[in-house]
Structure 1
Amino acid sequence: MATSPPCIENLLGPKLSQRATITLTSPAAALRWSEYEAPKTSIIVNVFTALDVVETIKYCNQYSLKFLAQAGGHGWGITWSLGENDVVINLRGLNTVEVNKAEGTATIGGGTIVKEIVDELFANEMHVVSGGCNCVGTGFLFGGGLGRLMGEYGLGIDNLLSADLVTASGELITVTPTSPSEDLWWALRGAGHNFGVVTSYVVKAYPWINGGVHWSGSVVFTGDRVRDVTKAIDKLKFQKPMSIHYYFVVDPSSGQPVIIVNPYYAGKAEDARIAFKPIFDLNPVVDATRPTPWDELNVDGDAFCAKGGRKVAYTSGLKKLDPGAFENIWNAYVAFINEHGVDKVGQSAILVECYSYISARAVEYTSTSFPHRDVDFQAVVLSWHNDSALDRAAEEFGDYVRKQWIATSRQHREHAYINFARGDEPLDAIYGESWRIRKLTTIKSKWDPNGKFGQYFPIPTRH
């Protein structure tokens, strides 16, 4: 049993709500999706109300403890600095979703994961912009909010109406476009992890498209088609209803690496097949696309929700998919799998998320802290294994892939979407141009001058 800071159960416990609990454990990667470079603490406060968060932050401040608030626990960066006696604030008890169909809004608790949001919205015949993984939490939205429906409605942050959050001093406030804290409103939408613990937020909700039945599924190609597939996706005109998830994965039935294109269309199957004709013209070996209810679109990715294991990730935002670079990456991926074995690294994958940015780019570029509206593709390489002895090989592989992307991305600077970033990137790759970093630093110095929210890609507190 771990040794806790001074009387945490006696001093903090009585101030928490009836359902809240304090868990003391041996230092571990508490509730995290990945154990690689994860924060290891021995204290978890399981909160159920916003005031639980307030009291926990005040307690941590009083005893000079670092803290990390999390819901899904998916952040895979390497910027953590928690110690054994620091605190994880587990937000999962704040998992509420209230839909107001008349007003076209959804009020979502800060501990809610994507599946819970999707299920409740679907039950009310509504949509919101949500992530492509069922088990991620609130960080998805406040890092920007990429998702399949962003072509129709914009980024997740473009649909945010208000947020209740606890500040670094332990004050519960509501932030809106017209609140006195308008500088915080700007910062929250794209860099929210650095400015507070969101306990609840309100987003726009929209009526079903096509009765809630959309179109998606796997289209499979062999590795010799990597150049053709990459070129076709790069040249595809992504209209509002369209997106693609482009994968290199190991086929579990054959144990061999394959290329999978997962197209998505918010509408009818016949319209979808016309929109994605350049993909089907390449004669895939498998076409498993089909009409799919909106609440089932993420199911195929549920295997990636498994917690634990060592997941080493690198990312880059791209303006172009270069066929030569992707052929190099395919060859490196196959070599990595063959060298280390399907049994050890077979869950490793390459993923490129390809969305329509039509609605996102209709929003003024400077109006939020999100700096990646000019990026067309978000690419991730994920090495997944259980043996720490493979960390070095995974890092070398990931670094090689990222360098291939950066060298051919046709960007004037590096781009790293914060929800996918590693933590070794230049600050401007994550937060954007120098003026953005200056503005974020000014806001940080006002709202969090001591860097309490500094676990996830920390923003400087002074110029």
Structure 2
Amino acid sequence: MGSAPDVYAALKKELEGTRAEVLTPGDEGYRESLKRWSEHCVKEAQAVVKVSSPDDVSKTLRFVKDNKIPFVVKGGGHSTSGSSSIADGLVIDLSKLRSVAVDEEKKTIKAGGGTIWEDVDVEAAKYGLATVGGTVNHTGVGGLTLGGGYGYLSGKYGLTIDNLVSVDIVLASGEQVVASETSYPDLFWAVRGAGQNFGVVTAFTFQGYPQPDPVFAGTLVFLPDKIPQIVEFANTFHEKNDGNQALLWGFSAPPPNNAPVVLVQCFHNGPLAEGQAFFADVLSLEPLVNTTSMIPYPQLNSLLNNSAGFDGRKQFGGGAFKLPLSAPFVSSLHTDFASFCTSHERMNESLLLFETIPYAAVTATPNSAMAFSNRGDYYNVATCFKWFDSGLDGEIREFSKGLLKRASEAAGVVGDEKVRSVEGVGVYGNYSNVDVPVAEIFGKNSTKLADLKNKYDPENLFSRGLRLVPRPMVVVN
């Protein structure tokens, strides 16, 4: 390969006549294009290609393949694994592919590869529709979907990928195909859970559902002394819910007081009186803050946005838990979490979250039905650490892993080989790092995924995320 300036000048020439932009250091807009949700994922790419069409993607893929240029794909830039950033190559940036089209008759929603969930929620609502999206609406549609996708509507309709009708995808060869249950069904199987390893998805088509009414939702804030009562309520949630509710609860120390508190996020897809009755036991605990009310559905996925701003360094981590939980055990997790955060500067906005989202609709689909392998009789528990000192990166990562391992083992999921053999893996791929063993994320589906990887990407062009096969693409500098 020639020098970097020469090769990217050639790429600019290759994309002449299109609306694509090739940005290199010094170009207007280059610095802005490097921004990511987590500051520790910002890397100085040699070039950023803002593609404007599937044809642009095809040309760029053929170019990087011919010139052996390492690359990554960036949708919403929300990952904390760094998989959408690169220092020694090129970023294929999908931000120009940001569009939503609704088919009112079929009740389907088609979202461009660079779309964020706010775009989908707002446009679908114009037609009285919604689909299963993320709980933070500035998350990219692509990243969340390709890794599975849990949302407030999962209790009723399953995962985001369970409601994926088709994808428009550009393969490693540059070929553009539509994958669905009837077209390239084996590829569609792989895309739903491991899509980033198989191509660049330029559009997603989702099934939409009628959502004409507002929902009951909001945040409750308590002092830690209410943990026993909140755990007691969570333990009853499993039997009480009918799929129209969700309960997200956990620990943080948000501004302005920066003091340890317990956060409870309530959701009921129904009238005010029903929502208040369902959550009566926690509403009666006299929360310090109560923002629950009836709100339009598009506003729902913005409620956690304030705790998920774009400043600071961040690290996701994930595990699983079963109900019932014991209050002393949860209190011990809170003590360890709060002690760690308060003993390190500017970590107060970190979060440990028990995502009590009903899973009956999720487990109605077997783990063999698609690549995603985290379906089981359990819930997700997640950490999102936020900090500013780069010297803490390694320490925070190790603490998060240890805390989540303890939570998952004590809850009877991770570490129990019998459970892992009959249920899912107990690890949500979107919360994991790219260096974990493939079997931890895909379980028994790992072998089939490796076979399909060799079929659709035999040269392992898409090698920067979780590696399904051990051999990386040979890079010549």
Tell me which moved more, 156-165 or 301-310: 301-310
- Go from structure 1 to structure 2 and tell me whether the alpha carbon gap of 1:80 and 1:134 turns closer, same or farther (over 3 Å shift): closer
Partner of 1:418: 429
Partner in structure 1 of residue 15 of structure 2: 15
Measure the CA separation in 2 of the matches of 1:72 and 1:325.
Answer: 36
Q: Which deviates more, 48-57 or 419-428?
A: 419-428
Alignment-derived partner of residue 437 in structure 1: 446
Residues 314-323 or 240-249, more deviating: 314-323
Report which stretch shifted further, 261-270 or 446-455: 446-455
In 2: Cα distance, 1:453 partner to 1:164 partner = 17
Structure 1: gaps of 5 or more residues:
none
1:330 lines up with 2:334 in the alignment:
yes
**In 2 relative to 1, CA 151–439 (structure 1 residues): closer, same or farther, beyond 3 Å?**
same
Query: 2:398, 2:56 → 1: CA distance?
Result: 42
Change (3 A) 1:325 1:314: farther
Cα distance, 1:59–1:338 mapped onto 2, change above 3 Å: same
2:218 match: 217
Q: Distance in 2 between matches of 1:79 and 1:96?
A: 23
Q: Given the alignment of the two structures, is residue 395 of structure 1 paired with residue 404 of structure 2, yes or no?
A: no
Q: Is the 8 A contact 1:355 1:376 kept in 2?
A: no
User: Which residue of structure 2 aligns with residue 182 of structure 1?
Assistant: 185
Matched, 1:447 2:456: yes
Among 91, 102, 107, which residue is 1:104 paired with? 107
CA distance in 2, matches of 1:287, 1:376: 28
Q: Hey, what does 1:163 align to over in structure 2?
A: 167
Paired position in structure 2 for 1:355: 357
Q: Note the alpha carbon deviations across 1:304-343, whole angstroms, 9 max, x for none.
A: 44335211232112234453332122112221232224xx
C-alpha separation between the residues in 2 aligned to 1:13 and 1:415?
Answer: 47
Aligned equivalents of 2:203 and 2:170: distance in 1? 10
CA distance in 1, matches of 2:254, 2:104: 42
**Which residue is 1:456 aligned to?**
465
Q: Given that residues 15 and 56 in structure 2 are in contact (C-alpha distance below 8 angstroms), is that contact kept between their aligned partners in structure 1? A: yes
Alpha-carbon separation, structure 1, partners of 2:447 and 2:302? 41
Shift of 1:254: 2.0
1:135 partner SS: coil
Please give the residue correspondences for 1:251-290 in structure 2 after superposition, counting only pairs within 5 Å.
251-290=254-293
Q: CA deviation at 1:201?
A: 1.8
| Distance change >3 Å, CA 81–CA 263, structure 1 → 2 | closer
Structure 2 unmatched runs, 5+: 472-477
2:200 is the alignment partner of 1:197: yes
- Are 2:58 and 1:54 equivalent residues in the alignment? yes
The CA distance in 2 between the partners of 1:449 and 1:289, in whole Å, is 51
In structure 2, relative to structure 1, the CA distance for the partners of 1:81 and 1:19 (3 Å cut) is: closer
**Stretch deviating more after TM superposition (223-232 or 265-274):** 223-232
Asked whether 1:64 is paired with 2:79, we answer no
Letter in 2 for 1:216: A
Verify the 8 A CA contact 2:135 2:301 in the aligned structure 1: yes
Going from structure 1 to structure 2, the CA distance change for 1:440 and 1:396 (only over 3 Å counts) comes to closer
Is residue 2:409 matched to residue 1:427? no
Q: TM-score, normalised by structure 2?
A: 0.88
When the two chains are superposed, the root-mean-square deviation of aligned CA atoms in Å is: 2.3
Amino acid in the other structure paired with 1:4: A
* 1:44 corresponds to: 48
1:131 pairs with 2:112: no
| Distance change in 2, residues 1:230/1:439 (3 Å) | same
User: For 1:13 and 1:215, how far apart are their aligned partners in 2?
Assistant: 53
Bigger mean CA offset, 13-22 vs 403-412:
13-22
Task: For 2:252 and 2:320, locate their aligned partners in 1 and report how far apart those are by CA, in whole Å.
Answer: 20
Q: Residue 452 and residue 308 in structure 1: after superposition, are their counterparts in 2 closer, same or farther (change >3 A)?
A: farther
Counterpart in the other structure of 2:231: 230
The Cα shift of 1:229 comes to: 1.5
Q: Does the 8 A contact of 2:72 with 2:84 survive in 1? A: no
Q: Percent identity?
A: 28
Structure 1 residue aligned with 2:386, among 384, 387, 398?
A: 384
Look up the match of 1:373.
Answer: 375
Matched, 1:243 2:254: no
Alpha-carbon spacing, 1:437–1:430, altered in 2? closer, same or farther (3 Å): same
Q: 1:395, CA displacement in angstroms?
A: 2.7
Relative distance call for 1:227 and 1:176 in structure 2 (3 A) is same
Aligned partners of 1:244 and 1:263 also within 8 Å: yes
Q: Which amino acid aligns with 1:331?
A: T
Q: Secondary structure at the match of 1:41?
A: coil
Alpha-carbon distance in 2 for matches of 1:455, 1:24 = 21
Q: How many Å apart are 1:39 and its aligned residue? A: 5.1
Separation in 2, partners of 1:80, 1:71: 8
SS in 2 for 1:217: strand
Secondary structure at the aligned position of 1:440 is classed as helix
The letter for the 1-side match of 2:449 is: L
Task: Report if aligned partners of 1:191, 1:370 keep a CA contact under 8 Å in 2.
Answer: yes
CA contact (8 A) 2:77 2:84 kept: no
Determine the C-alpha separation between the residues in 1 that align with 2:24 and 2:392: 30
Please name the residue that 2:117 is paired with. Answer: 114
2:474 is matched with which residue?
Answer: none
> In the aligned structure 2, how far is the partner of 1:40 from the partner of 1:246?
37
Aligned partners of 1:336 and 1:122: how far apart in 2? 42
CA distance in 2: counterparts of 1:145 and 1:159, whole angstroms: 10
Query: Could you tell me how far apart the structure 1 residues matched to 2:470 and 2:437 are?
Result: 17
Give the number of equivalent residue pairs.
452
Deviation of 1:12 (Å): 4.0
Cα distance in 2 for partners of 1:263, 1:401 equals 25
The answer on whether the counterparts of 2:72 and 2:83 sit within 8 Å (CA) in structure 1 is: no
Deviation at 1:345, TM superposition (A): 1.4
Give, in whole Å, the separation in 1 of the partners of 2:39 and 2:380.
Answer: 24
Paired residue secondary structure (1:7): helix
Partners of 1:458 and 1:322 in 2: how far apart?
Answer: 37
Provide the C-alpha distance between the structure 2 equivalents of 1:116 and 1:423, rounded to a whole number of angstroms: 28
Q: Distance in 2 between matches of 1:178 and 1:234?
A: 41
- Asked if structure 1 preserves the Cα contact closer than 8 Å seen for 2:373 and 2:442, the reply is yes
TM-score, normalised via structure 1 length: 0.91
Superposition deviation, residue 242 in structure 1: 0.8
**Distance in 1 separating the partners of 2:289 and 2:225:** 15
Give the deviation of 1:109 after TM superposition: 0.6
